[in-house]
Structure 1
Amino acid sequence: MTGDQILLFALFGVLFAFLVWGRVRYDLVAFTALLIAVFAGHVEPDAAFAGFGHPAVVIIALVLIVSRGLVNSGAVELIARFVVAPDRPVPVHISVMAVVGAALSAVINNVAALALLMTLDMDVARKAKRAVSMTLMPLSFATILGGMITLIGTPPNIVIAQYRQDALGAPFSMFDFAPVGLVVASVGIVFVALIGWRLIPGREGGPSLEDDAGLYLAEARVRDGSRAIGQMVRDLYPEAADKDVQIIGLVRNHKRLPGFSRTEEIRKGDFLVLEGDPKSIEAFMGAAELDFSGSEKHQGGLRGANLTLIEAIVPDTARIVNRSAMDVRLLYRHGVTLLGVSRGGRRFRDRVRKLAIRPGDVLLLLGPDDRMEQVAQWLGVYPLADRKTAVIQRRKAAAAIAAFGIAIALAVLGVTSLAVALGACVVAYVALGLLGGEEFYATIEWKVIVLLASLIPLSATLEASGGTELIANAIVDGTDGWPAWAILLVLMVVTMTMSDFLNNVATALIAAPIGVSVAQSLGASPDPFLMGVAVAASCAFLTPIGHKNNTIIMGPGGYQFGDYWRMGLALEVIVIAVSVPMILWVWPL
């Protein structure tokens, strides 16, 4: 072992220790390690930041943006809406949610898929009066499994594909991962749906923001073409109940009709008076094809891109105290509408826009995301932290799906690269108004981008120094006389163990060159070893820190650190048992 190799191994050892420790952000740890390597002379200064332009980094960033655009269009919600039923038995519910979650994770980022379905799963658990912990972890694991099916489903697949291009001259294509990924995901879903969920302690989830949020009174306009037209108000009660919203009145010709107007026939231009939390109100309006109050008078501001609902509390010094939204001309001056007001659970008969606001009221404001902070300051109100609700532009779902499909088709047919195709899709989403300027950048997981861009030069340096070859030789020597499939199994177990404690992108970057070196030492094809690394790096089920999805569900599911291995250990064994023969069948040695 040379002096350079000793220093690099020491640097990687310290890097791993800090990543496992987790007290310092992993992107800062990786970036610091990169700078140390530059100052030590292991990485050339000109190559230090080459990782930021690497295709894998660009593709991961674009996938995150495209995923957000699909969610904003309602394309994902359109699918998810038909899979929820509180009266299903737990195994059936988990099966349906897991299949949908895996399918979504194959075409959008698996974190985005979980974020969408998690809310639905928690709502079903509440309505069915069962512990959310029974179903939330199976859903998380299913979205992780589904990400293995395509190139864009999970970052490790993108990393492995681009590494193959750098090392062997050609990347894995979009669906090269599908034969192995489909089988592994299918077997894994069967396990979590029939057996795995029974191994999880039944705990109630932790407190959520919605649990202590007040109920708002809001108005929704019946737009032209709405399916509500011609129905009685009471005909919408089942849909409202499903979305946890109450319809408590009807406004016609600027006047609130008496009572609840249950038997009143709904007409174009009427306003339904709704009571519920922001997400429930937004979801009901989408399902009933209603518009936000004010949209008929301010088309540009309320139908533009990147609309957001924010909740803000009113102090006694606010400009709007003892005045209404009409008095301060909120809509006309700023393109922001007062959608609802929460006043300690009290109901009122005044129109929302004409209601005199009092100190202590909580306002539900709707407008362009990049304008909301400025408007809140102008009003003198205080936005509540983490109380934003995105407004879904459901009428653009077909266009969003078409743009995404065309982009994937162009990449699969070889017309252009995947990065360029996804970039064109992003441009289309911006043109459609599905993404705004701030959201464009806010959607990107910059910590992951910096981590990946920092580790790419470090990984290349370790490989160039012969360090990965040393590790590969140690694995080969330690398994001397073993068949090639057993060596592949050992590589996958090592990689999977690393992924349970390290970021899966970092694991893939480090394990990929080791896999190629092992293959070269055996005189075998590197493809099965790269596929093995891709599968193993994605499957982190033992801890809440191995995959972001596991971290996301920890609080809402009420899980403890030691709960994950109860189902995760058996699932990792199943993944290894299924994937090794499938890899060797699809990608022979």
Structure 2
Amino acid sequence: MDDSTITFVVLGATVLLFVVDRLPVAVVALLVPLALWATGVLSLEDALAGFGDPTVLFIAALFVVSEALEAAGVTAWVGQQLVARVGGSRVRLIVLTMGLAAGLTALLNVNGAVAALVPVAVVLAVRTRHSPSQLLLPVAFAAHAGSLLALTGTPVNVIVAEEGGFGFFEFALAGVPLVLGTVLIVLLFGERLLPSRTPRSIAPDFSGHARTLVEQYQLDHPEDALLNRRSGVAEVVIPPRSALAGDRVFPGMVTPSGDLVVLAVQRRGEDVGPTALSEGDTLLLQGSWDALDRGLDELLVVDEPELVRRAVPLGAGAGRALGVLAAMVVLLASGLVPAAVAGLLAAMAMVVLRVLTVEEAQRGVSWTTVVLVGGMMSLSAAMVATGAAGSLAGLLVDVVGDLGPHALLLGLFVLTAALGQLISNMATALIVIPVALTAAADMDVAAEPVLMAVAVSAAAAFLTPVATPANLMVMEPGGYRFGDYWKLGLPLLVLFGVVAVLWVPLIWRF
């Protein structure tokens, strides 16, 4: 078999393994570059090059920025504002979160918007008693639609604008109907087409934590006195064989370190006054967040202060985190530095400015997503290098070239959307755009509608989790499986096809 055929075989085997879902997705992603190397399609350096690709570094950096926003209470504040406006309405929940995703994408790009909004969407889902799986995929798909609102939405737009001379907001003529249609489809069909599934791990919701503690310990403290930007509380248990057993404590006393105050003591669920500590006693301690972080080593902590602190809206470090985010947005929108550089600078700034510790930054990265993106990039490279993708493009244009301009747009949509489910949008666009321009010239058709149709088609990456990094970012926190994507993705694919083939020529004439 030639290299092109081997690439198609590896592609088919990869899709099959994803669908069967017997191996972890990260293992499948690692098998792809190894298979392409073992069969001689790619050298070892090319097969593993995806793990050092700027896109992979950018995605990892975005996870760190997202973690910093969550740790500083920015996520909690955004979630609080949205919850106040959503109430119990599913319609408002969908419209506001998807609208926010689309708008943020126009400024950042798809990956940046989704990375920033995943923790917000999880918080919203928990607080409004919805499954995260009902909200996270719509957020990712709204980001795809929002990428057509402005030139900065995706690198594909930049390539298309260079060829067709489109203005910064001219993309919105196609993007606005895409965003509106995407939101409408999710509202009408999302509840039935999306799984209602609880992911394996989900961050606990501490939005009502202060109220719970006031009731549990019958305190006369206002809730905002327990948890605020400067100080918090920790519920701790005296562990077995603790050296603290036998020490006398009473509510209101200051601990020997001088940093913490004992607010309450309970034994078997009942409040007690001055007493000698016993194993299993529960104490409620109050102090600064720094004191709580360093003063609980000898105790069993019920809820880690690091996690509880994230429920405080706009907590300590929020100003620094927002400043770094704003600087990153400016760098991304202006193009002063490559996206990966902007992301890495922002991630490093979050650590240097002590919004995050190095350990927190490392924990914030979804390494499964990073491995998936890096591994699957080898397949994209093989499709291009072996000519497999190019042969598909040439074949399709040969089929539709004599059927008129609308047939050309339909053919380009099918080709671009099909490739876009398996290889990156950028790689797809780089393959299809030259073919599209050649076909348009041969048919004496204007380049603008053809280029815009390709841009719309490249954004229609809905059917698989490996279609885009944004799709992968929501897979783990949403508890999705490979087969969950196409159910909602298929009607959205039809919407994007209608816009690419029928709406685009009404705006940009043949």
**Superposition TM-score, scaled by structure 1 size:** 0.63
The whole-number CA distance in structure 2 between the counterparts of 1:331 and 1:440 is 32
Q: Is the 8 A contact 1:343 1:360 kept in 2?
A: yes
2:271 aligned residue: 348
The whole-number CA distance in structure 1 between the counterparts of 2:171 and 2:238 is 53
2:46 aligned residue: 47
1:292 aligned residue: 232
Matches within 5 A, 1:363-402: 379=298, 381=300, 389=308, 391=310, 394-402=315-323
1:316 aligned residue: 240
1:66 aligned residue: 65
1:81 aligned residue: 80
1:134-167 per-residue CA deviation (whole Å, 9 max, x = no partner) reads: x9625641453135435999xx946x579x59xx
Amino acid at match of 1:379: E
- CA change 1:148–1:381 in 2 (3 A) is same
The whole-number CA distance in structure 2 between the counterparts of 1:179 and 1:456 is 31
Secondary structure of the equivalent of 1:434? coil
Amino acid at match of 2:138: F
Where in structure 1 are there 5+ consecutive unaligned residues?
Answer: 126-131, 216-239, 251-258, 262-271, 275-280, 294-308
1:20 aligned residue: 19
The whole-number CA distance in structure 2 between the counterparts of 1:78 and 1:418 is 27
Is 2:402 aligned against 1:481? yes
- CA change 1:493–1:451 in 2 (3 A) is same
Q: Is the 8 A contact 2:331 2:342 kept in 1?
A: yes
C-alpha displacement at 1:339, in angstroms? 9.3
The whole-number CA distance in structure 1 between the counterparts of 2:324 and 2:102 is 22
The whole-number CA distance in structure 2 between the counterparts of 1:71 and 1:342 is 32
1:91 aligned residue: 91
Secondary structure of the equivalent of 1:292? strand
2:444 aligned residue: none
Which one of the candidate residues 145, 164, 175 is aligned to 2:142? 145
C-alpha displacement at 1:120, in angstroms? 2.9
C-alpha displacement at 1:580, in angstroms? 5.0
Which one of the candidate residues 340, 349, 356 is aligned to 1:435? 356
Secondary structure of the equivalent of 1:43? coil
Q: Is the 8 A contact 1:410 1:416 kept in 2?
A: yes
- CA change 1:198–1:117 in 2 (3 A) is closer
2:384 aligned residue: 463
Is 2:451 aligned against 1:532? no
Q: Is the 8 A contact 1:463 1:513 kept in 2?
A: no
Secondary structure of the equivalent of 2:83? coil
Secondary structure of the equivalent of 1:56? helix
C-alpha displacement at 1:200, in angstroms? 6.7
C-alpha displacement at 1:113, in angstroms? 1.4
Q: Is the 8 A contact 2:148 2:175 kept in 1?
A: no
- CA change 1:182–1:406 in 2 (3 A) is farther
Which one of the candidate residues 340, 362, 369 is aligned to 1:419? 340
Amino acid at match of 2:352: A
Matches within 5 A, 1:21-36: 21-36=20-35
Is 2:324 aligned against 1:403? yes
Is 2:107 aligned against 1:113? no
C-alpha displacement at 1:535, in angstroms? 1.3
Q: Is the 8 A contact 1:67 1:109 kept in 2?
A: no
The whole-number CA distance in structure 2 between the counterparts of 1:151 and 1:55 is 23
Q: Is the 8 A contact 1:411 1:421 kept in 2?
A: yes
Q: Is the 8 A contact 1:57 1:453 kept in 2?
A: yes
2:36 aligned residue: 37
Secondary structure of the equivalent of 2:231? strand
The whole-number CA distance in structure 2 between the counterparts of 1:418 and 1:202 is 33
Amino acid at match of 1:188: T
2:181 aligned residue: 187
C-alpha displacement at 1:477, in angstroms? 3.7
- CA change 1:441–1:510 in 2 (3 A) is same
Q: CA RMSD in A?
A: 5.4
Secondary structure of the equivalent of 1:379? coil
1:362-387 per-residue CA deviation (whole Å, 9 max, x = no partner) reads: 99999999x98x998x63859899x9
C-alpha displacement at 1:579, in angstroms? 5.2
Secondary structure of the equivalent of 1:435? coil
Q: Is the 8 A contact 1:66 1:426 kept in 2?
A: yes
Q: Is the 8 A contact 1:407 1:421 kept in 2?
A: yes
- CA change 1:528–1:151 in 2 (3 A) is closer
- CA change 1:479–1:399 in 2 (3 A) is same
**Superposition TM-score, scaled by structure 2 size:** 0.71
- CA change 1:6–1:563 in 2 (3 A) is closer
Amino acid at match of 2:347: V
Secondary structure of the equivalent of 2:78? helix
Which of 1 and 2 has higher RCO (CA within 8 Å, sep 6+)? 2
1:522-553 per-residue CA deviation (whole Å, 9 max, x = no partner) reads: 24668446523431115769x9x965536644
C-alpha displacement at 1:437, in angstroms? 0.6
The whole-number CA distance in structure 2 between the counterparts of 1:207 and 1:57 is 24
1:269 aligned residue: none
Amino acid at match of 1:519: A
C-alpha displacement at 1:65, in angstroms? 1.8
Where in structure 2 are there 5+ consecutive unaligned residues?
Answer: 442-446
Q: Which moved more, 1:569-578 or 1:440-449?
A: 569-578
Q: Is the 8 A contact 1:174 1:412 kept in 2?
A: no
The whole-number CA distance in structure 1 between the counterparts of 2:339 and 2:281 is 51
C-alpha displacement at 1:114, in angstroms? 3.4
The whole-number CA distance in structure 2 between the counterparts of 1:40 and 1:426 is 38
Q: Is the 8 A contact 1:407 1:422 kept in 2?
A: yes
Matches within 5 A, 1:255-334: 261=220, 272=221, 285-286=227-228, 291-293=231-233, 316-318=240-242, 320=244, 332=257
1:446-501 per-residue CA deviation (whole Å, 9 max, x = no partner) reads: 233333333334433332222111111233344353445545445545665787xx
Q: Is the 8 A contact 1:511 1:533 kept in 2?
A: no
